[in-house]
Chains A and B, each alone.
Chain A
């Protein structure tokens, strides 16, 4: 019993209790610190009448669309290039692609703010070549979210590459040899062998991405603060602003509950999908 006690106690105090407390607070008008009165569903009603709530839901979903599938496909593409190399060349190229993933988010955002700086950023000539002028990407409502997505993909793609590389290595070479003896082209090999055999990992990557990107906050807060004109305002930021900016603990908890419910629902869906595929 002594073996499980430390974990169970920590779990109850810093994990289970906050979950309960989040739900409990969402039914009160509590400030961040201090007690509040029971107000029933008022916070939820307010949430569903709040335009900013819908903006954040929309932007969160927009971000998910911009990142989840592209990040998975790019990861797969890079992994397919990497597995065809050997030895130390392969290892060092994998490091180059994976390195960003282990960096702190603030380092990532600082680097990209410099790379994309309107005046001196080294990426600006590239942007100029495409759209004809320099763009202050994080102050432009059209560019801000896609650029946050680009930075996020750069940052997190290494994880996907790693998963795909190991999955690709597990596909027996004989399959490809047999296929090419039968005269199958590269494309056919990919469609008939690689893609189907890889599907469980692809599904895993997609759902892990989905859950991770729904929780977007750090990059947005550090690069755009939700602006310009709320064009990058996301759910977790609403929680942050209501709780820590406007001292509305109860209301912030209600929004947190919404995020919680969305993510748990997605996770259950993921579990069901994976289970269905396992059978």
Chain B
């Protein structure tokens, strides 16, 4: 037994060191953001000798960061709401209602998993231009509202709701919308939270599409906007790191609070039961 446990301690120490090394760039970014600019390039001390918040103050008041926050929060919340509502309704129909073309729709949604949305950016840009939506929230949001896997996950979850509940609700004279929102949705709050958080994080982190569709700094999302800070003010690492930390904060906090849900959503959307 003694040998095993000392082996375990060795493993624990090794794992700890590996984990700290892995997370070190994150730590280093935060530390850098708290140093005054002169100290950043002056020494490689692992701890700020003087904690200095001027980089954050600069980020908040001298750049468009607040504006980008508004854009990111607005578009990500709307994308999440739209994705969840339309996918849930479609998943419910696929799961519970018999209608012509149901099997066909299911296969089409499944097949869409394969389509790389990155290959579509040119034609989506042309389309948004036709709609007059370049450089608007609508333009940022619309091409991001189709996430086929959300439909499939909802379908699977609704499939496992006992049939009797639905029959009983039908006898009480409930319509399909009522059954969905009053019965199926409350029964599946957990998965709805999980899918919402992961959709929000994905929308917040999306770079390519918002980068293409926004043409002025005022319309950019945080993820796109932070690249502008270095471009327009010159590279100053404390400042760049402060901006990066603030850009990452909302998703990082969302993950830390809803860790279990994030994990579950990631497993489900890769086809593994969570």
Contact = CB atoms under 8 A, between A and B. Distances in A.
Contacts of B116: 211, 214-215, 259-260, 263
Interface stretch (A41-49, A50-58, A189-197, A249-257): A249-257
A256 B267 CA distance: 30
Nearest to B150: A7
Interface stretch (B51-59, B187-195, B251-259): B251-259
A236 B212 CA distance: 13
A7 B122 contact: no
Contact of A102 (B105, B123, B227, B252): B252
Contacts, number: 234
Nearest to B115: A19
B226 interface: yes
Interface string B81-117: 0100111011011100101000001000000111110
A21 interface: yes
B19 A96 contact: yes
A18 B145 CA distance: 14
Contacts of B114: 263-264, 267-268
A21 B127 contact: yes
Interface string A23-51: 00100000011000000000000000000
A3 B98 CA distance: 12
A114 B271 contact: no
Most chain A beta carbons < 10 A, residue from B82, B115, B262, B274: B115
Contact of A244 (B94, B176, B212): B212
A61 interface: no
A22 B119 contact: yes
B142 A14 contact: yes
Interface in A88-115: 89, 91, 93, 95-100, 102-107, 110-112, 114-115
Contacts of B243: 110
Interface string B1-38: 00000001001101110111011011011001000000
Contacts of A99: 23, 26, 252, 255
B182 to A, nearest CB: 14
Interface centre among B22, B94, B251, B270 (most CB of A within 10 A): B22
Given A3-B89, A19-B120, A106-B227, A93 B19 contact: yes
Residue from A21, A104, A114, A166 whose CB has the most chain B CB atoms within 10 Å: A104
Given A6-B86, A81-B11, A114-B32, A18 B25 contact: no
B157 interface: no
Contacts of A89: 12
Contacts of B176: 3
B271 A204 contact: yes
A11 B243 CA distance: 36
Given A3-B176, A106-B226, A218 B28 contact: no
Contacts of A32: 122, 125-126
A256 to B, nearest CB: 4
B115 A81 contact: no
B122 A252 contact: yes
Contact of B146 (A15, A214, A222): A15
Interface residues of B, number: 87
Contacts of B47: none
Contacts of A81: 11, 14-15, 18
Interface in A101-145: 102-107, 110-112, 114-115, 117, 119-120, 122
Given A78-B18, A104-B205, A115-B28, A159 B126 contact: no
Nearest to B151: A7
A148 interface: no
Nearest to B118: A215
A17 interface: yes
A201 to B, nearest CB: 7
A104 B247 contact: yes
B224 interface: yes
Interface of A: 1-4, 6-8, 10-11, 13-15, 17-19, 21-22, 25, 32-33, 78, 81-82, 84-85, 89, 91, 93, 95-100, 102-107, 110-112, 114-115, 117, 119-120, 122, 154, 159, 162-163, 166-167, 201, 204, 208, 211, 214-215, 217-218, 222, 236, 239-240, 243-244, 249, 252-253, 256-257, 259-260, 263-264, 267-268
Given A33-B126, A114-B32, A264-B114, 11 more contacts: A10-B86, A15-B146, A102-B251, A110-B227, A111-B28, A112-B25, A114-B28, A114-B241, A163-B270, A217-B118, A268-B114
Interface of B: 8, 11-12, 14-16, 18-20, 22-23, 25-26, 28-29, 32, 40-41, 44, 82, 85-87, 89-90, 92-94, 97, 99, 105, 112-116, 118-127, 129, 142-143, 145-146, 151, 176-177, 180, 201, 204-205, 207-208, 212, 222-224, 226-227, 230, 237, 240-241, 243-244, 247-248, 251-252, 255-256, 259, 262-263, 266-267, 270-272, 274
